[in-house]
Amino acid sequence: MPNELTQKGLLDLELAIAGKDVTPIDLVEAYLSEIETRNGTLNAYVTVTADQARAEAKALTEELAHSGPRGPLHGIPFAVKDLMDTAGVRTTYGSSMFRDHVPVVDADPVRRLREAGAILLGKTNTHEFACGATTNNPHYGATQNPRKPGHIPGGSSGGSAAAVAAGLAPLATGTDTGGSIRMPAAACGCVGIKPTWGRVSLRGTFPMDPTYDHVGPIARSARDCAVALNVMAGYDPKDPWSPRQISEEEFTRLLGRKMAGKRIGHAPDYRPIPVQPAVRENLENVLRAFEGLGCEIVEVELPPAADVLSTGWTLIGAGTAATHVARALYPARETEYGDDVRPLLEAGTATSGLQVLAAQHRRAELTREFETLLATEVHALVLPTLALEPPAIGVEQVDLDGVTLDVTTAMAAYTATHNTTRLPSVSVPSGVGPGGLPTAVQITTGPGQDSLALALADAVT
């Protein structure tokens, strides 16, 4: 039986430590025991920092007794996606090229978490260079979905979501370029937020395309994500992608408030790909839950889905290729890439400058359209996170209502929309499909309205 401590959320663990019911040592030992028992099957972690975690737990337990908590996450264990640098701890970026890479400085969000008293348990598996939606990594193995082993956990932050869902960490970091926080959170039945672009520093995280990349938390609840984001977010003067004008915010400030009167956008005609019936039915259940809270459901019209998708794929593909070319990794070391990542880079390098410019212009137009909708018509927009239950590991194509799609396209069709717009978007569980796997919706708000997105997510879960 799992240790009951590992089934608790972040806030419950904080209260337990504050009340001296448990110590950081107790928590670390509980999670390390679960990792030792289950990680061999799940493959959520690629590196476990057991000795370091125990040493930090001992120091933090003594510090708590003598001088009080270091910060709001004092003694709380967490995991880090292996795309983000960790000082003195191997960081592979999911690639064989960096199998022995050990950074000397933490990624900025990791630094913030550790300074708040959080304890690193290890590094979680990721799709190679975050370039995929399955976390089937050819170099470090496939991560299993803890809700149904044999099925994918989503990607690219699949190891992080699997660790949280399985009780191998109460909190994990993720990155999201086309849905890589929200997809695995949805697939594993967790909560994950892609904050407003720029809220969380990208410094120390290997990029796909920094204009699409976001860093955020994956946890058991929207409340836990809000607590984590309070620590992770903030202006970083050393990150060229961190906007100086981004405002500081307490992301927990709207939790528990009444949501009556909020207008919730529903876009039934926005269908980038077909949606499985259970996904649609569970989304409608969430809309009914909002109605029960006194919210108004407003049917809205969004820009053409095909246009939104083509714009995103063009820019993500070209931006990712540019990243790897600039680092002299591609095409110089193309044989070292996995078979699913290499074609992405090939296609990206073949994209013309005119195509990129046209897509950038269209991105600006689309962003304005979504922002205007969320400023004038509705407070939030609810769409599916995934159009389908997570497929089995190794499946390369899926059929949705007679349409055959590759797995990455099928998984990311809805999430990539909000990387193009850079808007905050929270994925929350909406139910279970006929295959026994979770379904989810994403709740999206206007720029800088992360607290509202989290509060709405908390209100219906």
H or E segment at 306?
helix 305-326
* Cα distance between residue 218 and residue 161, in whole Å: 6
- Express each pLDDT in 135-162 by its tens digit: 999 999 999 999 999 999 999 999 999 9
Confidence of residue 248 (pLDDT cuts 50, 70, 90): confident
Q: Closest by alpha carbon to 55, among 121, 136, 142?
A: 121
Q: How many whole angstroms separate alpha carbon 102 and alpha carbon 92?
A: 8
Placement of tokens 């803890």 in the chain: 146
* Residues acting as catalytic residues: 81, 156, 180
What pLDDT, in 10s, does the model give residues 255-276?
Answer: 999 999 999 999 999 999 999 9
What pLDDT does residue 3 have?
83
Same fold, 4-232 and 263-459: yes
User: In 10 A of CB 256, how many CB atoms?
Assistant: 10
Work out the average pLDDT over 358-378: 98
Sorted by sequence, the CB contacts under 8 Å of residue 378 that are 6+ apart come out as: 263, 264, 265, 298, 300
Q: What is the pLDDT of residues 397-437, one digit of tens each?
A: 999 999 999 999 999 999 999 999 999 999 999 999 999 99
Instruction: Specify whether the CB–CB gap between 440 and 385 falls below 8 A.
Output: yes
Residues 6+ away with beta carbon under 8 Å from 237: 244
pLDDT at 364 over 80: yes
Query: 269: left (phi > 0), else alpha (psi -120 to 50), else beta?
Result: alpha
Q: Class of 4-232 per CATH?
A: alpha beta
Mean pLDDT of the chain: 97
pLDDT at 318: 98
Place of tokens 């905050």: 424
pLDDT digits (tens, 9 = 90+) for 274-332: 999 999 999 999 999 999 999 999 999 999 999 999 999 999 999 999 999 999 999 99
- Supply the pTM of this predicted model: 0.97
pLDDT at residue 1 tops 60: no
Cα three-residue angle 196-199-204, rounded to 5 degrees = 120
Map out the domains of the chain as residue ranges: 4-232, 263-459
Q: Are 220 and 183 in contact (CB under 8 A)?
A: no
Confidence check: pLDDT of 456 > 90 = yes
- Contact (Cβ atoms closer than 8 angstroms) between residue 109 and residue 200: yes
Helix axis angle for 353-376 and 305-326, nearest 10°, is: 130
Task: Please tell me the predicted confidence (pLDDT) of residue 41.
Answer: 97
Decide: 366 and 421 in contact? Cβ < 8 Å.
Answer: yes
Which CATH class, in words, describes the domain spanning 263-459? alpha beta
